[in-house]
């Protein structure tokens, strides 16, 4: 081989050695790999830190939203003022918001479903994610307070509704009443009745009470007809209905909730003419949680007859009274009064008994008692409203007097009484009676329109229930 060939071969071997050395030298790639790994780790850790800060902000935001809707629900219960409730919710949120800027995006009250909904949002800075041009994130939280009765609030709830279906309620007024009563039922009665119950009873009234199927076990049966001499000297024959159309009982237990047995049975009413239909046609409904059943009776309301408000008052009490448990259906038996004083694990009452008394006018019909042997306790409408006369007397006093006495006794038994007037004016006997019957001044509602009536029933429903979170 020539000297040039030897030199060339040497140079090629040297190049091959160098290439093999470079292929084994990984110092540069390690640096590159390390740098890339550090960036990835930094991004992951940084994102986790920013994400954690966002989740913490969201938790704090949720707490602020939840407490704000609960505050709104409570203000609504106490004040019946939606503007005040919303103002309270927004002020409460501003006092408890986790970061700046935070704001209320939405506040929506819905009194049909008895809910208050709020959506809040806050902005969280993201130092690590800002490297990849995400300097901040916006998080939002939604809270909803449901004003719930029965098991949802840990309380047994018993409600009776005295509803005026007299002739003066004809037309739009009876339709307004139907809507208002059904609203209350939808708010108060909830589906879960497993542990605690929420039940409603109906006591529609006009010049008598239609006891329906319950009448067979509680009614006193006087003669089919009687002739009475009225105060003005005229003689009038009245006829007993062949349905269980009842008046008031007299005697020592006239203003008590004593069990309707023996001498305390409820007399059947007499009325003018031989027409045997009861006025009102709508029957009383013992307590039930069956909303469809309650609404079906309400939908059938028709307006007719005079205003014996004391009868409605009495039956609103009877349907809540544990003394009547022996004559009421199994699912309608009231809980004992002693349970009103018991509290649950969170301090909530285990039982509430509430009567709602609604009317649109003066109580203008009471009954007078026959003194004829064999018909003592039988009653007829006392149209001339007098307390004197040969054998036509009103032994219990006027309807107004009786209603007030019954209210006093009902409240003394532990029942909370709400009253609702509908176009009764701002003075007079009806106004004074309802104002005095209410357990507290703010529990008397004097309404003048159908919307006000409906709002009053909704507010009563939300007042006797408890606000809970339901998001």
Per-residue pLDDT tens over the stretch 328-368: 999 999 999 999 999 887 777 889 999 999 999 899 888 77
At 398, list the tokens: 């006027």
**Residues spanned by the domain of 70:** 27-146
Identify the pLDDT of residue 225: 78
Does residue 155 contact residue 428 with C-beta atoms inside 8 Å? no
pTM attached to this predicted model = 0.75
Do 110 and 162 reside in the same domain of the chain?
no
More confident residue, 278 or 373: 278
Cis ω for the linkage preceding 280 (within 30 of 0): yes
Identify the pLDDT of residue 189: 87
> What are the tens digits of pLDDT across the range 247-299?
888 788 999 999 998 888 888 887 776 666 888 999 999 999 999 999 999 99
In the predicted model, is pLDDT for residue 229 greater than 70? no
Query: Rounded to an integer, what is the distance from CA 151 to the centroid of its chain?
Result: 12
At 331, list the tokens: 């699912």
421 strand-pairing partners = 359, 446
Q: Max Cα separation, the chain?
A: 164
Do 194 and 95 reside in the same domain of the chain?
no
More confident residue, 314 or 57: 314
Q: To which H or E segment does residue 85 belong? A: helix 82-96
In the predicted model, is pLDDT for residue 102 greater than 70? yes
Half-sphere exposure of 364 (CA within 13 A, CB side): 14
Mean pLDDT score, 408-424? 97
Do 161 and 107 reside in the same domain of the chain?
no
> What are the tens digits of pLDDT across the range 85-98?
888 888 888 888 87
Do 198 and 267 reside in the same domain of the chain?
yes
> Which of 89, 111, 146 lies at the terminal end of a domain, its last residue?
146
Identify the pLDDT of residue 372: 41
Q: Which percentage of the chain shows pLDDT scores above 70? A: 76
Q: Is residue 371 part of a domain?
A: yes
Mean pLDDT score, 157-168? 96
Identify the pLDDT of residue 196: 82
Q: How confident is the model at residue 465 (pLDDT cuts 50, 70, 90)?
A: confident
Cis ω for the linkage preceding 263 (within 30 of 0): no
Do 155 and 135 reside in the same domain of the chain?
no
Total domains in the chain come to 2
Identify the pLDDT of residue 390: 41
- In CATH, what number is assigned to the domain containing residue 381? 3.40.50.410
At 364, list the tokens: 């203008």
Q: To which H or E segment does residue 188 belong? A: helix 172-188
**Of the given ranges (59-63, 166-170, 342-346, 385-389), which has the lowest mean pLDDT?**
385-389
Q: How confident is the model at residue 37 (pLDDT cuts 50, 70, 90)?
A: low
Q: Coil, strand, or helix at residue 62?
A: helix
At 431, list the tokens: 């106004």
Q: Is residue 22 part of a domain?
A: no
Does residue 71 contact residue 88 with C-beta atoms inside 8 Å? yes
> What residues contact residue 204 under an 8 Å CB cut-off, 6+ apart?
163, 164, 165, 210, 280, 282, 283, 284, 297, 301, 312
In the predicted model, is pLDDT for residue 375 greater than 50? no
Does residue 355 contact residue 416 with C-beta atoms inside 8 Å? yes
User: Which parts of 252-387 fold into alpha helices (H)?
Assistant: 291-299, 309-318
> Which of 120, 146, 172 lies at the terminal end of a domain, its last residue?
146
Do 61 and 195 reside in the same domain of the chain?
no
Q: Which percentage of the chain shows pLDDT scores above 90? A: 38
Do 98 and 163 reside in the same domain of the chain?
no
Do 99 and 166 reside in the same domain of the chain?
no
Does residue 359 contact residue 421 with C-beta atoms inside 8 Å? yes
Q: Is residue 441 part of a domain?
A: yes
Mean pLDDT score, 144-156? 69
> What residues contact residue 187 under an 8 Å CB cut-off, 6+ apart?
114, 147, 149, 458, 461, 462, 465
Q: How confident is the model at residue 377 (pLDDT cuts 50, 70, 90)?
A: very low
**Residue 320 φ/ψ, nearest 5 degrees:** -105, -5
> Which of 146, 174, 194 lies at the terminal end of a domain, its last residue?
146
Do 233 and 132 reside in the same domain of the chain?
no
**Of the given ranges (13-17, 132-136, 418-422), which has the lowest mean pLDDT?**
13-17
Identify the pLDDT of residue 298: 97
More confident residue, 462 or 295: 295
**Of the given ranges (108-122, 170-184, 255-269), which has the lowest mean pLDDT?**
108-122
Identify the pLDDT of residue 422: 97
Q: Is residue 110 part of a domain?
A: yes
Do 201 and 118 reside in the same domain of the chain?
no
Rounded Cα gap, residues 362 and 351, in angstroms: 33
Do 140 and 166 reside in the same domain of the chain?
no
Q: Is residue 18 part of a domain?
A: no
Q: Is residue 83 part of a domain?
A: yes
Q: How confident is the model at residue 384 (pLDDT cuts 50, 70, 90)?
A: very low
More confident residue, 463 or 230: 463
Q: How confident is the model at residue 176 (pLDDT cuts 50, 70, 90)?
A: very high
Q: Is residue 304 part of a domain?
A: yes
Do 244 and 305 reside in the same domain of the chain?
yes
10 Å Cβ neighbour count for 285?
A: 23
Q: Is residue 3 part of a domain?
A: no
User: Which parts of 286-355 fold into alpha helices (H)?
Assistant: 291-299, 309-318
């Amino acid at each position: 081989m020539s000297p040039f060939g030897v030199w060339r071969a040497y140079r090629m071997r040297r190049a091959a050695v160098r290439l093999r050395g470079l292929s084994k030298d990984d110092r540069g790639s390690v640096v590159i790999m390390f740098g890339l790994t550090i960036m990835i780790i930094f991004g992951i850790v940084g994102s986790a830190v920013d994400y954690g800060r966002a989740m913490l902000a969201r938790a704090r935001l949720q707490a602020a939203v939840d407490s704000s809707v609960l505050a709104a629900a409570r203000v609504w219960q106490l004040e019946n003022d939606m503007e005040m409730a919303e103002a309270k919710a927004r002020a409460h949120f501003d006092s408890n918001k986790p970061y700046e800027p935070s704001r209320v995006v939405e506040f929506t009250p819905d009194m049909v479903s008895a809910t208050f909904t709020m959506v809040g949002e806050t902005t969280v800075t993201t130092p690590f994610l800002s490297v990849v041009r995400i300097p901040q994130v916006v998080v939002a939280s939604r809270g909803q307070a449901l004003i719930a009765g029965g098991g949802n609030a840990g309380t047994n709830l018993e409600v009776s509704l005295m509803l005026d279906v007299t002739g003066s309620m004809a037309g739009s007024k009876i339709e307004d009443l139907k809507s208002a009563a059904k609203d209350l039922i939808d708010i108060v009665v909830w589906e879960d009745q497993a542990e605690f119950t929420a039940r409603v009873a109906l006591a529609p009234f006009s010049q008598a009470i239609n006891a329906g199927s319950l009448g067979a076990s509680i009614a006193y049966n006087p003669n089919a007809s009687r002739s009475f001499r009225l105060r003005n000297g005229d003689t009038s024959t009245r006829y007993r209905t062949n349905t269980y159309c009842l008046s008031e009982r007299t005697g020592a237990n006239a203003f008590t909730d004593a069990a309707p047995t023996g001498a305390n049975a409820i007399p059947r009413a007499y009325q003018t003419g031989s027409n045997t239909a009861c006025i009102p046609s709508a029957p009383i409904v013992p307590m039930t949680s069956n909303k469809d059943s309650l609404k079906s009776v309400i939908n059938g309301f028709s307006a007719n007859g005079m205003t014996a408000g004391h009868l409605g008052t009495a039956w609103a009490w009877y349907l809540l009274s544990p003394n009547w448990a022996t004559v009421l259906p199994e699912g309608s038996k009231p809980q004992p009064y002693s349970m009103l004083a018991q509290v649950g694990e969170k301090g909530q009452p285990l039982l509430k008994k509430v009567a709602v008394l609604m009317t649109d006018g003066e109580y203008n019909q009471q009954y007078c008692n026959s003194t004829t042997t064999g018909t003592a306790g039988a009653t007829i409408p006392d149209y001339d409203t007098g307390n004197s006369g040969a054998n036509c007397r009103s032994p219990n006093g006027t309807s107004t007097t009786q209603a007030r006495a019954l209210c006093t006794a009902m409240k003394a038994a532990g029942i909370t009484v709400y009253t609702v007037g509908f176009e009764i004016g701002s003075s007079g006997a009806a106004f004074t009676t309802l104002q005095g019957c209410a357990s507290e001044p703010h529990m008397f509602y004097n309404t003048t329109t159908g919307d006000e009536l409906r709002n009053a029933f909704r507010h009563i429903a939300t007042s006797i229930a408890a606000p809970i979170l339901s998001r």
